[in-house]
Amino acid sequence: MKKHSLAVITSFLLVAGIVAAQTAFIYPSFAEVHEPVSLPGGSWTWFIDRSLGGTLVDGTVRLLGVEEKRRTWREGSVTFYYAGGPAAQLAYLTRGLGYGLYYDLDTDSGRLVGWAKISNRLNQTLRFEKVTFIAGQVPLRSGAAPQMAMKKISRSMDVEAVGAPAPAPNYAGSGGGVYRYELQSPPPLEPGVTEIPFIRSSVEPVYTWSYRGGFYRGDKIEFNRGYTFAATAQLASGLVNLRSRGVLLGQALMPDTAKNGRVELWLGRDPEGKASRRIEVLRDERKEKSYRVTTTVRNPRGSQVKVDISESFSAAKLSLELPRDAQRTPSGYRYVFTLAAGAEKSFVYTVTLRY
């Protein structure tokens, strides 16, 4: 009887948020919460709040720091049987907490600020001593945990945070294909969405015209416009708002990018981004065709632009005579150069296609 009473008291202290501060590992669509508990000997019952119970992920509720023997689910509670203690951690996955990312990029200054949008769907304010954001592809295939008449417990999951809120998470390394960012003493996570600066970085965005496609026989090609830069930190995937002089240029999706990796943010066609083409037919036979192609690019803008052209060819055998500074690729070529404001550049290549 005393053992049962102690279990009830310990459970009450846990749900009342009186135990030591809890931590959370937050993923885009779920979170893993660790709550320190002081256990009685042999068994302990956890009474699950109704708002949390409907979000638990099956097969993820467990006690850390003890050797579990079995668990019994009944009437909105879980009874754990174990050896060891008293110090342990209650761990579980919940779909009631998750986050999304977006970035603001000032293309003039190169200032990149990432924001984490933390969604709290548990209908109560949460306070954590530490939050770790996990970025990357983490599949979760389990369904909901057993649903059994969860009891309505009048309480808060709040645990007082320690110290002042930190301005942004710190990169905590990578492993297993994911990035980790730690935030010590985060602000309270109220029901709804809380936005926290995720990363602040300085990059060097370069305005770029790009053409990537097959061999085009028309008299002009049109470029996509965008910005490219080298990542100065590990960047998790998210939507990027690109602005210049306070004006929104558009939004682009950035994939997970390792430090020093190339980031490409494409925004669609540029009305001024065009190149004229002149194609001379040198040979036109059934099994062999040869062309000399002259491409002329002019930059009418008041600032420089980077030009990135990639063409591919379909043939059994391909021969190419390219400008010295162009790059041969397995199926064609890539030519990258920079045009100053008002400048013009022409280049010529010869291609022979054998079928």
pLDDT tens for each residue of 32-62: 999 999 999 999 999 998 888 789 998 899 9
With 50 as the cut, is the pLDDT of residue 192 above it? yes
What does the pLDDT read at residue 75?
80
Same domain for 214 and 159: no
Same domain for 147 and 29: yes
Give dist(CA 126, CA 31) in Å, integer. 12
With 80 as the cut, is the pLDDT of residue 5 above it? no
Of 202, 236, 262, the residue that ends a domain is: 202
Tell me which residue range forms the domain holding 177: 1-202
Q: What share of the chain is helix, strand, coil (3-state, %, to 5)?
A: 5, 55, 35
Question: Strands, DSSP E only, in 65-191?
Answer: 67-74, 77-83, 87-94, 97-106, 111-120, 130-135, 170-175, 178-184
Give dist(CA 21, CA 39) in Å, integer. 16
Q: Order of strands, edge to edge, in the sheet holding 238-244?
A: 192-202, 111-120, 97-106, 238-244, 247-254
Give dist(CA 181, CA 197) in Å, integer. 12
Q: How many domains does the chain have?
A: 2
* Residue 333 Cα to chain centre, angstroms: 31
What does the pLDDT read at residue 175?
53
Tell the residue number behind the tokens 């965005």, with chain if given. 205
Comparing C-alpha atoms, which of 294, 291, 295, 296 is closest to residue 318? Answer: 291
Same domain for 150 and 36: yes
What does the pLDDT read at residue 53?
79
Give dist(CA 125, CA 147) in Å, integer. 23
Of 184, 202, 220, the residue that ends a domain is: 202
Between 286 and 156, the more confident residue is: 286
Give dist(CA 114, CA 118) in Å, integer. 13
The residue-averaged pLDDT of 97-118 equals 94
Residues 6+ apart with CB under 8 A from 47: 11, 15, 76, 77, 151, 153
What does the pLDDT read at residue 169?
54
Q: 19 — phi, psi (to 5°)? A: -80, 180
Same domain for 150 and 30: yes
Between 347 and 176, the more confident residue is: 347
Same domain for 211 and 198: no
The predicted-structure confidence for 115-172, as pLDDT tens digits, reads as follows 999 999 998 899 999 999 887 777 777 655 555 444 443 333 333 333 333 345 555 5
Residues 6+ apart with CB under 8 A from 227: 105, 107, 205, 206, 207, 208, 242, 265, 267
Of 202, 221, 251, the residue that ends a domain is: 202
With 90 as the cut, is the pLDDT of residue 111 above it? yes
With 80 as the cut, is the pLDDT of residue 2 above it? no
Same domain for 109 and 227: no
Between 135 and 348, the more confident residue is: 348
Same domain for 3 and 125: yes
Same domain for 159 and 26: yes
Instruction: Tell me the C-alpha to C-alpha distance, in Å, between residue 166 and each of 112, 159, 236.
Output: 19, 17, 20
Give dist(CA 139, CA 66) in Å, integer. 27
What does the pLDDT read at residue 20?
43
Question: Which two structure tokens, joined as six digits, stand for 166?
Answer: 């930190």
The predicted-structure confidence for 307-324, as pLDDT tens digits, reads as follows 999 999 999 999 999 999
Alpha helices in 16-162 (DSSP H): 50-53
For the ranges 18-22, 32-36, 200-204, 222-226, the lowest mean pLDDT is seen at 18-22
Same domain for 301 and 220: yes
Same domain for 155 and 180: yes
Beta carbons within 10 angstroms of residue 9's beta carbon: 11
Same domain for 152 and 27: yes
Decide: 333 and 348 in contact? Cβ < 8 Å: no
With 90 as the cut, is the pLDDT of residue 7 above it? no
Same domain for 137 and 163: yes
